[in-house]
Amino acid sequence: MADSPYEARMLIGGARPPVDEDRAIDVHSPLTGARIAVISDASAGQVHDAVGAAQAAYDETWRTTNGAERAQLMHRFADLLDEHATAIGELESRDNGKLVRETTSQARFAARNYRFFAGLADKLHGRTIPLDQWETFDYTTRESVGVAALITAWNSPMQLLANKLAPALAAGCTTVVKPSEVAPLSTVYIAELLEEAGFPPGVVNIVTGGPAAGEALVTDPRLGRISFTGSVPVGQQIARLAAQNLTPVTLELGGKSANIVFEDADLDRAVVGAVAGIFAAGGQTCIAGSRLLVHESIAQEIEQRVSRRAGEIVLGDPTDAATNLGPVASKAQQDRITAMIAAARESGARLASGGGTPRPPGLADGYFVEPTVFADVPPDSQLANEEVFGPVLAMTTFADEQEAIRIANGTRFGLAAGIWTQDLSRAHRVARELVCGTVWVNTYRQSAAQAPFGGVKLSGYGRERGVEAIDEYLRTKNVLIDLSDEVRDPFQIKT
């Protein structure tokens, strides 16, 4: 893609309408601040048309396309994602500042998701149910919900989309996709790949824009499911709007995940896990291990080692192989992170490392935030309870297992947690007590297409990935058949 700004066009019913100058949104590079693209701020009419195209494609084509055929198209699409993974990764890195090796890997992981769910597309079985009435035959079918709205965040657009689009297509849904206006380019890129794979027009539609476009989408009464990944306030607003039409919603929201290091842990592995858990992707991931809970007997050593590793992280161009950390995704995000760092310092939290906004050589206009470590952070402080969504780690000590569990569960979030211990019994005990959707033991941030993902409390509800995800896009129908020859007249009076 050229360095000059270009039109990133929407996809509605197979058509690619040009960007209206009067309704254009600029997309900026987090590395330089320069404008790199323009997108449409979709009107309510365009959103309505996109849902209409999805509904027509469902009624006329996709509803009767069998699972084997859907799977074949999904496999073709996955092959194309693999072929274009480098281009997608480079585009996404330019768009949101993540390391190109991570965005490229996420494009390939997205392809794995489509292949996994393609394997489920022809296995959506119902069941027969024996009833008390011998002559009544009862069975269920699992049918798609119809049109699904899929709304993704800016931090990992291609991977987040795969978490939603793959099970939706496998279930037989048609879709309207809305990426974040902050980083929409990789999502728009795939429009041509969907056409090349052979998906009928209208099966996947892509609309771009801001909050008004999102509101027009989630309030459309024709939707059978809304799936959203993003912030808690926006998720709450979507749930309120969806309630008007009783549209079911899947919400994958924020987190304040605890990475718990016990005194018997392999400290070399735990330090690597702690550093990667928060500073990978610049901390701009919902599963970031933003709270490091450390047993008091090893706290000083862990603090020193984590702070030293944080100070060695190389900031720079995310497409440069020597870079460990790129810029955060936007100026607004940089401002929010630095404001929370300042608030933590003013409240008395002890800064162990970082805290600044560096300007790497030649990148003075980039949205950089230094990897930051705070120590002795009180569990009830803002830093320990509010999601920063940046490279900021809050370290807290604990005295025993029960205190670690209490602190870990002591936030409004419940997305993920990590446990570092060589005691197998402890690992199982603590995992059982943690109130969250995912627990890692002696690892962190690992993902798999087969493993279900989602949260509890303010981290949301519903599941993505794994066989559980396809249930979000299906509904159960029950069929009862009277096999007898008897006339069952409820008004007949027997004497």
Of 75, 62, 82, nearest to 120 (Cα)? 75
* Active-site residue flag, 252: yes
Which amino acid type is present at position 20?
Answer: D
Within this chain, domains 6-253+459-479 and 258-441 share the same CATH topology = no
The catalytic residue among 90, 252, 303, 464 is 252
Q: Which residue has the tokens 């992280």?
A: 313
* Active-site residue flag, 286: yes
Widest pairwise Cα distance in the chain: 98
Domain boundaries, the chain: 6-253+459-479, 258-441
Q: Which residue has the tokens 């993003």?
A: 230
What's the whole-model pTM score?
0.95
Q: In this predicted structure, what is the pLDDT of residue 73?
A: 98
Query: For the chain, how many residues are written?
Result: 495
Question: Domain 258-441 falls in which CATH fold?
Answer: Aldehyde Dehydrogenase; Chain A, domain 2 (3.40.309)
- Are 436 and 418 in contact by the 8 Å Cβ rule? The answer is no
Q: For residue 144, give both structure tokens.
A: 């798609």
The catalytic residue among 90, 92, 102, 286 is 286
Q: In this predicted structure, what is the pLDDT of residue 2?
A: 43
Of 268, 61, 271, nearest to 173 (Cα)? 61
Question: Domain 6-253+459-479 falls in which CATH fold?
Answer: Aldehyde Dehydrogenase; Chain A, domain 1 (3.40.605)
Give the DSSP letter of residue 183.
S
User: Could you read off the pLDDT tens digit of each residue along the chain, which spans 495 residues?
Assistant: 445 568 999 999 999 999 998 999 999 999 999 999 999 999 999 999 999 999 999 999 999 999 999 999 999 999 999 999 999 999 999 999 999 999 999 999 999 999 999 999 999 999 999 999 999 999 999 999 999 999 999 999 999 999 999 999 999 999 999 999 999 999 999 999 999 999 999 999 999 999 999 999 999 999 999 999 999 999 999 999 999 999 999 999 999 999 999 999 999 999 999 999 999 999 999 999 999 999 999 999 999 999 999 999 999 999 999 999 999 999 999 999 999 999 999 998 999 999 999 999 889 999 999 999 999 999 999 999 999 999 999 999 999 999 999 999 999 999 999 999 999 999 999 999 999 999 999 999 999 999 999 999 999 999 999 999 999 999 999 999 999 988 878 787 665
